[in-house]
Chains A and B, each alone.
Chain A
Amino acid sequence: MKQQVPAIDGWFTDDAEGPRLIGSRGVETGSYFFPRALAVSANPAAPTERREDVLLSRRGTVWSFTTNHYQPPEPYMSPDPFEPYSVLAVELAEEQMVVLGQLAAGVDPSTLTIGMEVELVFEPLFEDDDYAYMTWRWRPV
């Protein structure tokens, strides 16, 4: 079995309780942010508030979803031959935010519905000769 390395550092953890996305939370407003590294947003009521790292909810509900039937351009690392894949937008209740992720391998996308409960899993996104590059995905509960 190939050694597993994250496809991107610092976005998720794979501890004993299962994989979790690592976000941050503003200590004054309670706003959540993901991913931490890109500093994508700030709450204008407290733009300089300190942020603490938090593990985001492992479960959420499907806000919307799609299956892509055409191979995307690089830097997507496509299997050869290309295989269709699904992308889910998942609403996290406590964080009141929607987070994207691919659908877990082996799940039939025709079974997906909006509002369905899903949970985070940890799977290889692509592999080379030495490593499996791991990412987060969503799987129906």
Chain B
Amino acid sequence: MTAPEIAILGVGMHPWGKWGRNFVEYGVVAARAALDDAGVEWHDIQFVSGADTMRNGYPGYVSGATFAQALGWQGAQVASSYAACASGATALSAARAQILAGLCDVALVVGADTTPKGFLAPNKGERGDDPDWLRFRLLGATNPTYFALYARRRMELHGATQRDFAKVKVKNARHGLHNPYARYRKEVSEADVMASPVVSEPLRLLDICATSDGAAALVVSSMEFARSRAAGKPVRVAAISTVTPRYPNTVIEMPNFSTDSGAGAALPELSFRDSIAAKAYEEAGMGPDDLDLAEVYDLSTALELDWYENIGLCKPGEAEKLLNDGDTTIGGRVPVNASGGLACFGEAVPAQALAQVCEIAWHLRAQAGDRQVEGARVGLTVNQGLFGHGSSVILTV
């Protein structure tokens, strides 16, 4: 069943970095930029949808209200969503539901984060019933530990090499070179990656994304509202997927100690990661061949290669060839992470899925500057986070 569409009237971001300021400041900057871009006044926003941060206390858990207050209370209805790395897409989904239900015409979606230095760590305290706490205590299983397990598996199954992984970083670094919102804007060579210290074998420091401060925001509306406001055809949201896994999920996922057991149930037709984009394609009535570009969640360089297969750009085991043939480089068949990806941004959890949407929107409006994917008409975002979250958004124009 294809879903009815909503319009993206405006997009805005605060540059990614390690700025050390309150996340609310970044969110307000991104929100004002999106409002300006949309030509919509703050007092006209009827619904504020916040993507939560878990690392900034109570204001982070009620981010929708936090941003609404910081922009100046004006009576809008509010919601706040947390879905790990998919939080931004879930907040967008909440706004879409309000709009498609006819409960509001125009909504503001905002996600922002301030991150500590180093590894993402669990919340403090002795919490022996929280798998996210226990995985650090009992195993030292950091996030890169899981990325490395996938990467080693990819090397074993598909013959990927550390040099292939390095090439992903080289590509993304080049893509992000002129992106004003990216944190890292510097050419990186294969030799640089190979010379960087090993974090979790086989992954090195430059294979793994950092954590960053940043913010992204969208102004979205009904198609009718968009037609009444703007000249020309707006970018449209054709699909939002926020699916959960199907039992049994036999791939080890953060923050779990084990997979589901395949002993008592037939394996699902699609793996969880495959199912995330599949649902978006179904909603949009499209397939991988329709894509002009994609923004995928390169938590590690190796994971970007997995995503090529998970979103159907190629068959399992062919991602290295796709990369090495230049198909996923700007100018290639279907550029991936034209923004520079997490390799150039670092992860600002609640803002990241929205930043992916901002990037696609700029390309579909031919406003992506030096990194523009020429003639882009359809783009897909995809990500996955812990606790069974994932999201994919398809935009079209």
Contact = CB atoms under 8 A, between A and B. Distances in A.
Contacts of B263: 30-32, 94-97
Contacts of A111: none
A77 interface: yes
B230 interface: no
Interface string A31-42: 111110110111
Given A66-B201, A73-B136, A95 B129 contact: no
A68 interface: yes
Given A72-B142, A76-B140, A99-B257, A67 B134 contact: no
B133 to A, nearest CB: 6
B368 interface: no
B77 interface: no
B252 interface: yes
B256 interface: yes
A102 interface: yes
B262 A68 contact: no
Given A40-B131, A41-B247, A73 B118 contact: yes
Contact of B133 (A32, A69, A75, A97): A75
Nearest to A31: B264
B317 interface: no
B71 interface: no
Nearest to B201: A67
Interface stretch (B38-46, B145-153, B180-188): B145-153
A101 interface: yes
Contact of B199 (A69, A85, A96, A109): A69
Interface in B174-201: 197-201
A1 interface: no
Sort chain A's interface into a size bin: 35 or more
Determine which residue in A26, A75, A125 has the highest number of CB atoms from chain B within 10 A of its CB, and name it: A75
- For A65, A87, A109, which residue has the most chain B Cβ atoms within 10 angstroms? A87
B385 interface: no
B258 A87 contact: no
Chain A CB within 10 A, most for which of B118, B140, B153: B140
Nearest to A56: B258
Interface in A40-73: 40-45, 63-70, 72-73
B199 A29 contact: no
Given A26-B264, A43-B264, A99-B257, A73 B121 contact: yes
B257 A33 contact: no
Contacts of A63: 149, 153, 252
A38 B131 CA distance: 7
Contact of B149 (A8, A64, A69): A64
Given A64-B156, A69-B200, A96-B261, A89 B139 contact: no
Interface string A86-119: 0101000011111111100000010000100000
Nearest to A137: B139
Contacts of A7: 137-138
A74 interface: yes
A45 B265 CA distance: 8
Contacts of B262: 96-97
Contact-size category for B: 35 or more
A98 B252 contact: yes
Contact of B258 (A68, A75, A94, A99): A99
Contacts of B148: 66
Most buried by A among B121, B129, B259: B259
Contact of B145 (A29, A66, A109): A66
B141 interface: yes
Contacts of B139: 87, 100-102
A87 B145 contact: yes
A97 to B, nearest CB: 4
A102 B328 CA distance: 37
Given A31-B265, A45-B265, A76 B250 contact: no
B122 interface: yes
A57 B248 CA distance: 19
Nearest to A41: B260
Task: Specify which of A26, A89, A95 lies most central, judged by the most chain B CB atoms within 10 Å of its CB.
Answer: A89
B119 interface: yes
28 contacts: A30-B263, A30-B264, A31-B248, A31-B264, A32-B263, A35-B257, A37-B129, A38-B257, A40-B131, A43-B247, A43-B265, A63-B149, A63-B153, A64-B152, A64-B153, A66-B200, A68-B142, A68-B144, A69-B201, A72-B119, A76-B137, A87-B140, A89-B252, A97-B259, A98-B250, A98-B252, A100-B139, A100-B141
Given A41-B247, A76-B136, A96-B263, 14 more contacts: A40-B257, A41-B248, A64-B152, A64-B153, A67-B200, A68-B144, A68-B145, A76-B137, A77-B137, A96-B250, A96-B261, A96-B262, A101-B139, A125-B138
Give 4 closest A-B pairs by Cβ, nearest first. Answer: A31-B264, A29-B264, A96-B262, A66-B148
